[in-house]
Structure 1
């Protein structure tokens, strides 16, 4: 049997990989795609989408808790089992639907992670295949901590599939994933402990908006152990025990479940990149401004796995493939990738959201800035739902009055930050925002008040 040859071989079936494979197949290229997990990628199968479905109940419980004595007489009851069944309606059909879409376009599918044999040759499912171009879109996977007993710890996807909630949990790592799942669990009555090596959670967000979130967590009886590196996990008769080194001390915590939420890393270790002469870093596949690998120019990378300026967020996994597709299809209008403002959100309650530069980054880049920072705003939108933790920090270029960075804590921070992303993309000034008309009373309207002291 001869060696199968393809114009384009895509590794990864998430948003980025699917986009490239479909576009190339529709353009008449002979395309193959491979994945060692269920087709469809992380976001719809075991990430953002199922998480957001489960989050709905915790948001309801959190809102009801804040309104007790103000109209809510009794806390709602919930069924985690019913919620899980509801979530499955969103998730279960994804892999088969993804394969069906790819099959319609004549794309060959492989259910294994390929390995490079040389610059244009791969081994997959025991077969050797050739590819003129290879696109790596394998995303991220959980970081495995190098400590005794780490295999006793569960991962984020295990949380999403829990048949029932335990009475206690420990999360090792207080980043996006750890904070989101910890809040979800705590709001539903689970006793939560968080352990992190840093001095605070969410170190990539401004301290001004993270500090109030810590207060909101502590109101749910969440315990934080900071400046502590987990060193061992043990199975006891009923509980698991985590030992963590905090300075010269050893701190111990026990719970029914332990979750490793210490971060995510590029999913590249199964690819044998060295054999393909594909350069990479700790952040992922090395790429130039066309998302092309500099040492193997027949290889491209997009989405979370690329070591690019893009943040590891789903919207970037839709944005970056456009540049790769233009390269593969030799689009004459193709330009090097230029990144838009990249908003991000932490789906806790209240939410944190950010776009643009941190204050330290703006100063390091030489901007003369105006910084506005407020917390515990008792404005109508927060007051009507008894939300104590509402605030923001904005960084504005003093010379142009353009927004360099916006950082928000509020129940609707994820929607509010989109307005700032739009304003930054359109190069609007703070005067432009002040002069706009928004509907009232909405969270979006509050943005005007941040730059116009006459509005609250």
Structure 2
């Protein structure tokens, strides 16, 4: 006999938690299911554990930059201790998350959920039915379709590796490659990146990415652009990677090969056809309310919805939109204006709003300030040389159209520009704001 609920949530990450707890708080019955430990990608396999590792590597990096400036002695990373520090956060998450659901009156299940009808899923042989089903299963590493693909470790494998290999090769040039290479190199590994495109971090301003590349050279990361991996072979404990580049072929050797070539939702295990949930161009066919256009009982949020950028704050925002539409009828649509994005390299790279090409494509008239800032106090105090900014301001309205930052405080200062972009604040309003000094935010008036 099937168990019946008002809402079934498939997934247990950021969006899932938002949906499940907010719906349950209204007295409706809710069930959550996940085939992995509860917590989702961000808390267990992505943002948070990565930032825990960066906590150690950034501390060591800062100490090294301060050599000759009052700091002495060799600083090195003990990988086992750093991993234990990371696990002090991640290990308690699944039990804490499940306990939180239970205390909120939410039923919890473990196992892969697959549709067996428009309003029903099966989990580990048990049938669950509901008025509404919310898909929040995130994304998985993309299939590359190359021989030896099984030898790649993914982001989860990297964040759980017990020992740091001597030679690490990353396939791809996005967030994962950018961030993991900085962690591994500063921890003592020899790092190589193979990127099929002409540059890394294509979602960020090309000028600032170019400045950041100087840091890759400084820490000894070898980057090959225009290079497409064709085969991975394992010989003993060593991997041989064959890649095409410039019309020829190159080979590389490594002790670990990391998948950093992008992520996408994995629809196959869900058996969407059985639930009457259609895809359009490889994505869930959703209306503006994040509801399935073919099965109105189904909503989606976060990475699997593929409506906004694949970022944790977007998942949380989508979850709130879904809750509002579930409880009050379809009336709320997501707003992705002014979503900040940060690559947590050392130093971090951040952006919000439009870049130059996007502003030109929209026919906007704007002025732009762009400078490198190695002599600013906030930069010198951190003993960092690779820093700079680019800010776009619309002519006439003086609205901030976009901001692109590179430097020690970029990941925090970008939030001020996010407020401006999302809520239409002007350059004059920012310049008139008195920020605490000396801080990264106190540099903002000089960028305008």
Q: TM-score, normalized by length of structure 1?
A: 0.94
Q: Counterpart in 2 of 1:288?
A: 287
Please, what is the CA RMSD of the aligned residues?
1.6
Is 63-72 or 37-46 further displaced after alignment? Answer: 63-72
Instruction: Please report how far the alpha carbon of residue 52 of structure 1 lies from its aligned counterpart in structure 2 after TM superposition.
Output: 0.8
CA distances 1:120-177 after superposition (whole Å, capped 9, x unpaired) = 2222211233221110000111112111111111111111111121111000011001
The answer to whether the Cα contact below 8 Å between 2:57 and 2:77 also exists between their aligned partners in 1 is no
Contact 1:117–1:123 under 8 Å retained in 2: yes
1:450 and 2:447 are equivalent in the alignment: yes
Mapped partners of 2:276, 2:329: distance in 1: 26
Aligned twin of 1:454: none
CA distance, structure 2, for counterparts of residue 155 and residue 85 of structure 1: 20
Other-structure match for 1:413? 410
Please say which of residues 238-247 and 32-41 is displaced more in the overlay: 238-247
The residue aligned with 1:159 is 158
Q: After the TM superposition, which of the residue ranges 266-275 and 39-48 deviates more from structure 2?
A: 266-275
> Which secondary structure state, in structure 2, belongs to the residue aligned with residue 158 of structure 1?
helix
Q: 1:204 offset after TM fit, Å?
A: 0.9
CA separation of 1:439/1:25 partners in 2, compared to 1, >3 Å: closer, same or farther?
closer
Would you say 1:72 and 2:83 are equivalent positions?
no
Contact 1:266 1:283 in 2 (8 A): no
Say if 2:337 and 2:353, in contact at 8 Å, map to a contact too. no
What is the CA–CA distance in structure 2 between the aligned matches of 1:392 and 1:6, rounded to whole Å?
Answer: 51
Q: Deviations over 1:56-89 (max 9, x none)?
A: 1110121122222222332223321112112211
In the other structure, the counterpart of 2:47 is 48
Shift of 1:313: 0.9
Q: Is the 8 A contact 1:113 1:124 kept in 2?
A: yes
Q: 2:124 aligned with 1:142, yes or no?
A: no
Q: Paired residue for 2:257?
A: 258
CA distance in 2, matches of 1:400, 1:211: 31
Shift of residue 385, structure 1, vs aligned partner: 2.6
The superposition leaves residues 167-205 of structure 1 with CA deviations (integer Å, 9 ceiling, x where unpaired) of 110000110011101011111211100001111100111
Check the 8 A contact 1:281/1:307 in 2, yes or no: no
Bigger Cα displacement from structure 2, 436-445 vs 221-230 = 436-445
Which of 309, 312, 322 lines up with 1:311 in the alignment?
309
Paired with 1:438 and 1:376, the residues of 2 have a C-alpha distance of 19
User: Which range is displaced more, 442-451 or 73-82?
Assistant: 73-82
Q: Is the CA contact (8 Å cut-off) linking 2:151 and 2:257 kept in structure 1?
A: yes
1:396-435 CA-partner distances (Å, limit 9, x unpaired): 2112111111111101110010010112233221122222
Equivalent of residue 328 in structure 1, options 326, 329, 352: 326
Residue 386 of structure 1: CA displacement? Answer: 2.5
Q: Could you say what secondary structure the match of 1:287 adopts?
A: coil
Moved more, 425-434 or 45-54: 425-434
Between stretches 409-418 and 277-286, larger displacement belongs to: 277-286
Query: Could you say which residue in structure 2 is the equivalent of 1:268?
Result: 267
Q: Give the Cα separation in 2 of the matches to 1:256 and 1:291.
A: 43
Q: Does the 8 A contact of 2:185 with 2:191 survive in 1?
A: yes
Structure 1 residues 278, 133: closer, same or farther in 2, change over 3 A? same
For residues 335-383 of structure 1, give each alpha carbon's deviation from its aligned partner in whole angstroms, at most 9, with x where no partner exists.
3333341011111111000001121111111211212221254211112
Shift of 1:331: 6.3
SS of the residue corresponding to residue 310 of structure 2 reads coil
- For these two proteins, the number of residue pairs brought into alignment is 448
- 1:436 aligned onto 2:433: yes
User: Secondary structure in 2 aligned to 1:110?
Assistant: strand
Normalising by structure 2, we get a TM-score of 0.96
Distance 2:282 2:427 in 1: 35
Would you say the 8 A contact 2:325–2:332 is kept in 1? no
Distance 2:137 2:281 in 1: 14
Cα distance in 2 between the residues matched to 1:335 and 1:144: 34
Out of 347, 351, 358, the position equivalent to 1:350 is 347
Which residue pairs with 2:181 in the alignment? 182
Q: Is the 8 A contact 1:390 1:409 kept in 2?
A: yes
Question: 1:112: Cα distance to partner?
Answer: 1.4
